[in-house]
């Protein structure tokens, strides 16, 4: 098992002197993820229409509003782009899978009143990596609010986790931008390649992360550095505290992984899974993509791993927090 030495240079913390002492004396309590109103719906086959917007003087703007045909809600807008109904994307995607004789089970949902679409396709084929079993997943996505381009990506789930655990999310995504000449043929060309490449990448990354040993102090450094750089992805100090809590309280299967980067990654995935379970799908998704990308890069590039292990400029005060 490889070990990493932290050779970071200590930098001045944002909290110093008496201010830092006050923070250390204040014991914080962080609650587990609270249930929220679900941000998702299983309605995705609704019709959509486009209507060009005009100025107050009646001049055509060139911008078209996307309107749900069943509710009349405006769920997005495009400039010179053609609406791609979710049903068309799903039909094309599933035709490709069926023609390739790839069996699947699907879960389809929308968020933002139908503005965004997500599909999960469980391919059910087993994949063994370091005595662990995984199943392959394809994620399909699109949107009418312009936030997601239509396309798909590969994931895998550890079968030992009853609720599933995503890994390598979207690493091999092949997305196509919205355009008037949108050609869905790219799905047919790349779906099999994505599965094969994703499975190969999964094998290498799991093995690599399993071979990187880390101490408790290094786990703290990793999480502090991840939080400081992940604010745009919704990764907050609370994320760091809850992932660290998972690291200190591993499940029985996680204990078998030892003190490794792979176990810390699993602690992070348990956090995103718990966020999803209480109805915060999009928050879970953003955090998962950021965390997966960060751990994946660190497992493959020595300089990225050392950057995570380096002494953080803004270390989280783990000892001043109790998770309840």
pLDDT of residue 29: 47
Give the mean pLDDT of 154-171: 62
Amino acid 151: pLDDT: 84
Mean local confidence (pLDDT), 58-86: 88
Strand partners, 122: 105, 137
What stretches of the chain show up as alpha helix (H) in DSSP?
A: 17-25, 86-99, 185-210, 216-229, 237-248, 252-255, 261-277, 281-300, 302-309
> Mean pLDDT, to the nearest integer, of 315-319?
90
| 53-69: b (≥16 Cβ within 10 Å) or e | eeeeeeeeeeebbbbbe
Name the residue with tokens 């998972």.
246
Report the DSSP beta bridge partners of residue 30: 323
Residue 170 predicted with pLDDT over 80: no
The dihedral formed by the CA atoms of 138, 144, 149 and 150, expressed in degrees to the nearest 10: 40
Note the pLDDT of residue 232: 72
| Greater pLDDT, 271 or 176 | 271
Digit-coded pLDDT (tens) for 179-203:
655 566 777 778 888 888 888 888 8
Q: Please tell me which residue, 324 or 257, carries the higher pLDDT value.
A: 257
pLDDT bracket for residue 133 (50, 70, 90): confident
pLDDT digits (tens, 9 = 90+) for 19-46: 434 433 344 445 555 444 456 889 999 9
Count the Cβ atoms, other than its own, within 10 Å of residue 162. Answer: 8
Q: What average pLDDT score do residues 78-106 get?
A: 88
The dihedral built from the CA positions of residue 235, 239, 244 and 247, taken in this order, carries a sign that is negative
State the DSSP code for 319: G
Contacts of 261 (CB under 8 A, 6+ apart): 209, 210, 212, 213, 214, 222, 295, 298, 299, 305
Cβ atoms of 10 and 304 within 8 Å: the answer is no
Pick from 48-57, 134-143, 251-260, 314-323: least confident: 314-323
- Percentage of the chain beyond pLDDT 90 is 39
CA neighbor of 133 nearest in space, from 99, 156, 106? 156
């Amino acid at each position: 098992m490889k070990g990493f030495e932290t050779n970071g240079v200590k930098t001045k913390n944002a909290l110093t002197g008496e201010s830092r002492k006050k923070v250390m004396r204040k014991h914080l309590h962080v609650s587990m993820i609270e249930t929220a109103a679900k941000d998702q719906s299983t309605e995705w086959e609704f019709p959509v229409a486009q209507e060009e917007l005009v100025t107050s003087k009646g001049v055509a703007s060139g911008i078209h509003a996307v309107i749900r045909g069943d509710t009349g809600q405006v769920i997005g807008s495009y400039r010179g782009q053609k609406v791609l109904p979710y049903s068309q994307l799903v039909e094309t995607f599933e035709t490709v899978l069926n023609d390739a004789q790839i069996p699947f089970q699907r879960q389809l949902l929308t968020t933002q009143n139908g503005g965004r679409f997500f599909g999960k396709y469980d391919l059910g084929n087993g994949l063994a990596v370091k005595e662990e079993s995984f199943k392959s997943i394809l994620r399909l996505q699109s949107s009418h609010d312009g936030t997601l381009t239509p396309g798909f990506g590969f994931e895998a789930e550890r079968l030992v986790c009853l609720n599933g655990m995503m890994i390598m999310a979207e690493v091999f995504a092949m997305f196509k931008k919205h355009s008037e000449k949108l050609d869905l043929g790219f799905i047919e060309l790349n779906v099999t390649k994505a599965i094969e490449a994703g499975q190969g990448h999964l094998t290498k990354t799991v093995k690599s992360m399993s071979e990187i040993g880390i101490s408790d102090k290094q786990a703290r450094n990793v999480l502090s550095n991840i939080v400081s750089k992940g604010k745009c992805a919704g990764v907050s100090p609370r994320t760091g505290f809850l992932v660290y809590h998972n690291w200190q309280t591993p499940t029985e299967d996680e204990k078998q992984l030892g003190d490794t980067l792979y176990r810390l990654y699993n602690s992070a995935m348990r956090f995103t899974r718990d966020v999803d379970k209480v109805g915060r799908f999009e928050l879970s998704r953003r955090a998962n993509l950021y965390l997966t990308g960060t751990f994946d890069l660190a497992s493959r590039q020595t300089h990225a791993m050392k950057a995570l292990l380096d002494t953080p400029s803004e270390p989280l005060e783990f000892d001043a927090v109790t998770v309840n």
